[in-house]
Structure 1
Amino acid sequence: MKLGYHVGYWSSGPTPGALEAITEADRLGFDSVWSAEAYGSDAFTPLAWWGSATERVKLGTNIVQMSARTPTATAMSALTMDHLSGGRFVLGLGASGPQVVEGWYGQPYPKPLARTREYVEIVRRVLAREAPVTFDGQFYQLPHPGGAKLGKPLKSTVHPLRADLPIYLAAEGPKNVALAAEICDGWLPLFFSPKSDAFYRAALEEGFAREGARRGFADFEVPASAPVIVHDDVEEAAALIKPSLALYIGGMGAKDANFHHDVFVRMGYEDVAGKVQELYLSGRKQEAAAAIPTALVEDISLIGPPSKIREELAEWDKTVVTTLLVRGDAAALRKIADVLS
């Protein structure tokens, strides 16, 4: 299994020590470095700025929110990044959730799978550069049919470095995972657990079996974000992760539309997820974190002494995951690389 480094999105400002960690990941032989965006920092700019100091690692977005940009704008950024990095860029896309899509970007959220299908198709047409781009979809039309009625089909002035630049899709539900397998080159899971491997494997197989599917298990990438904390005390390590989990399980999205919450329900933690959500939405965030059992943390992470992590890594090696995306500063990356190598 390959290793990748996930910088994540910023909180109140730039991630401290990010440049040092990214260059250390490059030096240590990590396969990839990933950025993210929510409703603060964007995904492309930090990746370009810090990634310019690297020489070998792939540079990926995990994820670019599709509602933030038109498909052609995303394609422009992707082909630009690919040229500047010498063919090391990976475009990771995601639909995000209704609160961000409608509240921050002012775009409609319904039918995210159908929107995704159209979005990816337009990006691929731009990158292929075979003809001026036209599209007559339910959600996207090129040229725009209204306005000044002066729009005409255009073709990128820049010739893409790679017409087949890889596109990965972030997905949590089975239908979206199957869509990733059908139309993309990789799937970006969140809160993956080896215990859920059969569930996701079946969703991927459904997508691979569809007519026109691009790939199969042999050439499909699955970089999974997973907390890895090398620590003698498992409970103390778990305590470092629980507040973030409480936010995702309890506070992301709306009460009845939280896809992260649903992941843990499918994992068998319905009662826990319900309690965490109730506590978090009532403002009792510390209690919400405390309500998360360490066993749940261990299901989606690798924490504890080196021997325990190495033993549990064997279970991850049996799954569909091809790359483990870890976080931390440069020192943490060195420790993780030593344990997982």
Structure 2
Amino acid sequence: MPAVVWLLGTSGVGKSTAGYRLLAELADRGVVAAFVDADQLRLAAGVRASETRLVATGLRALVPGYREAGARLLIVAGLADDREHLARLLPGVPRERVLACHLHADAEVLRARIRQRAWLAEQAELAVDYAAAIDPSLADLRVDTSGLTPDEVSRRLATAALAHVERAATAADHEPAGPAATDPPVGVVLVTGPGGVGSSTVGFQTFMRLANEGSGVAYLDAHQLGFVGADPRGRQLAPLRARNARAVIGALAAHGARTVIVTADIATVREFGGSVREGLDVATFVLRAAPRTLAARIRRRARGDGPPIAGDHRRGLAGRALDESIAASVDEAARLDEDLPGAHPLCTDDIDPADLAAWIAERTGRAPR
């Protein structure tokens, strides 16, 4: 296992934003790092594992790919209550290889941030309560984010992370075992399309629909599994994203997942389809939309509608930058192949994402009765 920086804290402190920006900060200082939000590894229902176990096995599955990509440091944003909980999230990893960074903020600041983002604002008080319950002895470093910008937070973290990498280089390394082999067949539902079309929204709603059935189902956003180095959204990382998605699917299957919904960009889907192994039954759905629809959806993302997503390069865009993002998506849609091998094209114009999710769920054979 590479050296680990674990960013802990409640909702609203900016863990994911700090972790994502820390990649570029460290790259500028000569250290290649990988980043993953632990929330991306625990989205499963009807499986034989706790959320803690899902995160632990998911991280083990990701490490070999991150290593091959040159990462010397693994940054994880996730909840951790105390030392015992952190040890279960990183089983077998020596404590000296882990730097626990507690990001915190004043209660009123937390409330204001959560309400401002207009997503699950009703959970503001739960976030404040959880912040008070975190064991302060867990942290090696505490950063009060109340009056800091995201860039200021990442710069403070980078100084501590660099020192940690140097210390960890002298400590015994630890290579975690990979996920257990997958014996039962696994159904993989790939949902893709041009940027901004709504793949993540439709994919996640498909997962939620199947989860309500109570059967073994999980959700992965492949883009969130390939953040490495100074250009974590680059197309050159598509092979890593595909490899990591397959690895985590294996870990989920070992815990009883029989269907895994995966949202991914077109390049990653092509990589994934080019190296499918036995035991994976893959169905691919390509979402399409007219230019006007893409423009409207990207503008909503820019305004902050929908859940906050680590590395969301559209959130907050305005003016020329927003126009360029829309143009890039429209161009990608125009260059999109008519179909990927065996893919199902879906026009999404004027269609509610919930209806698209229901349609996909029905055609995977696992829709609720």
Both structures adopt the same fold (TM-score exceeding 0.5): no
Tell me the TM-score normalised to structure 2 length: 0.29
